[in-house]
Amino acid sequence: MRHFLTLRDYTKSEILEILELAAKIKTETKNRVYKDYLPRYTLGMIFEKSSTRTRVSFETGIYQLGGIGLFLSSNDIQLGRGEPMSDTARVISRMVDMVMIRTFEQSKIEEFAKYSKVPVINGLTNEYHPVQLMADYLTIQEAGLDKNLVVAYVGDGNNMTHSWLMLASKLGFELRVATPKGYEVDAQILKDAQEFSKESGAKIIITNDPKEAVKGATVITTDTWVSMGQENEKEKRIKDFDGYIVDEAMMKLGAPNAIFLHCLPAYRGYEVSEGVIESPQSLIFEEAENRLHAQKGVMVWLDRQNKK
């Protein structure tokens, strides 16, 4: 059974195949052609954290594919009252055809997948956010920037950064990561990405200097300094990230045709300036829309793969 828990489980050709499928279904959707790729399928959507994009895109996506989404907030299901993940997985996966989970530790989603009879998709964990990266890369492809791609990520070494490491090391592009001291990426994930890079030819640069990272980059991206679950560290983090805002001056250091990406929600005046968010270089809303299309690709691909 194939799940979609992290890009580390995927090859370059599989990632590109999913994106190709996503682009095809996107074109159909844009022409208001809705094919029943997943007729009468039910997607269980378990949320242990808040969401705007992930919920709306998965629920809309499964409906457009011929199925229905079930929004299951952990506040409302027994998981939130201590029912084990393993029991929740065995119950829910007997009733639905696919499951998407947003939770805390990656080990929780792995536990669910271990007991699940149906494919499980990661809708964000503390460690990874792989469906976001599929949308981001689709946006990069559409902008025509996937050749000679140089991505600069400025900010916290978090789930987004780890997913960028996986994507770059699998696809073989240049990724520069600039974090403040003490907020570096996970050492083991970095080591694994370096290992994958040997095969793909990816170039991974880790630095504490954002200016060095963005110099000539074709994609400049960042994420919140305070991820979900870190709210009590907010004050300290804001101090520690001083100098890491992606503002107009930082964007100027990138390539002339550079674009700005952000998974959203964005906190203006912290990780990114209002001017950059609203500039023509910013493709953040195209990127957000691509969550819908990329995830439809993931769901249809998983279904086909698991029928083989």
Q: How many alpha carbons fall within 13 Å on the CB side of residue 271?
A: 26
Binding of residue 160 to ligand CP (CB under 6 A): no
- The whole-angstrom separation of Cα 144 and Cα 139 is 9
- The whole-angstrom separation of Cα 89 and Cα 103 is 14
Binding of residue 263 to ligand NVA (CB under 6 A): yes
Q: Which stretch binds ligand CP (CB under 6 A): 52-60, 113-121, 170-178, 296-304?
A: 52-60
| Size of interface with ligand NVA, in residues (CB under 6 A) | 9
CB under 8 Å to 94, separation ≥6 — which residues? Answer: 117
Binding of residue 159 to ligand NVA (CB under 6 A): yes
CB of 178 vs ligand NVA, minimal distance in Å: 16
Residue 262 annotated as part of some ligand binding site: no
Question: Which of ligand CP, ligand NVA, none does residue 103 bind (CB under 5 to 8 Å by kind)?
Answer: none
Binding of residue 124 to ligand CP (CB under 6 A): yes
- The whole-angstrom separation of Cα 66 and Cα 124 is 24
End-to-end CA distance of the chain: 10
CB under 8 Å to 217, separation ≥6 — which residues? Answer: 150, 151, 152, 176, 254, 255, 258
Cβ proximity of 84 and 90 under 8 Å: no
Active site residues: 102, 129, 132, 223, 263, 291
Binding of residue 221 to ligand NVA (CB under 6 A): no
Instruction: Pick from 51, 116, 126, 273 the residue near ligand CP by CB under 6 A.
Output: 51
Binding of residue 223 to ligand NVA (CB under 6 A): yes
Q: According to CB under 6 A, which residues from 228 to 247 bind ligand NVA?
A: 228
3-class SS of residue 47? strand
Binding of residue 189 to ligand CP (CB under 6 A): no
Instruction: Pick from 64, 74, 158, 295 the residue near ligand NVA by CB under 6 A.
Output: 158
- Residue 46: phi and psi, rounded to 5, are -95, 125
Q: Which is nearer to ligand CP, 178 or 292 (CB)?
A: 292
- Over its C-alpha atoms, the chain yields an Rg (Å, rounded) of 19
CB of 156 vs ligand NVA, minimal distance in Å: 7
Residue 188 annotated as part of some ligand binding site: no
CB of 290 vs ligand CP, minimal distance in Å: 11
Reading across the β-sheet that carries 150-154, which strands appear in turn?
203-207, 174-178, 150-154, 219-222, 259-262
- The whole-angstrom separation of Cα 214 and Cα 175 is 10
Instruction: Pick from 203, 264, 277, 281 the residue near ligand CP by CB under 6 A.
Output: 264
Binding of residue 52 to ligand CP (CB under 6 A): yes
Binding of residue 132 to ligand CP (CB under 6 A): yes
39, burial (CB in 10 Å: exposed 0-12, middle 13-18, buried 19+): exposed
- The whole-angstrom separation of Cα 186 and Cα 161 is 9
Binding of residue 70 to ligand NVA (CB under 6 A): no
CB of 169 vs ligand CP, minimal distance in Å: 22
CB of 123 vs ligand CP, minimal distance in Å: 7
Q: Where are the beta strands (DSSP E) in the chain?
A: 42-47, 68-73, 98-102, 120-122, 150-154, 174-178, 203-207, 219-222, 259-262
Q: According to CB under 6 A, which residues from 206 to 245 bind ligand CP?
A: none
Contact footprint for ligand CP (CB under 6 A): 51-54, 124, 132, 263-264
Binding footprint of ligand NVA on the chain (CB under 6 A) = 124, 158-160, 223-224, 227-228, 263
Q: Which residue ranges make up the annotated binding site for L-ornithine?
A: 159, 223, 227-228
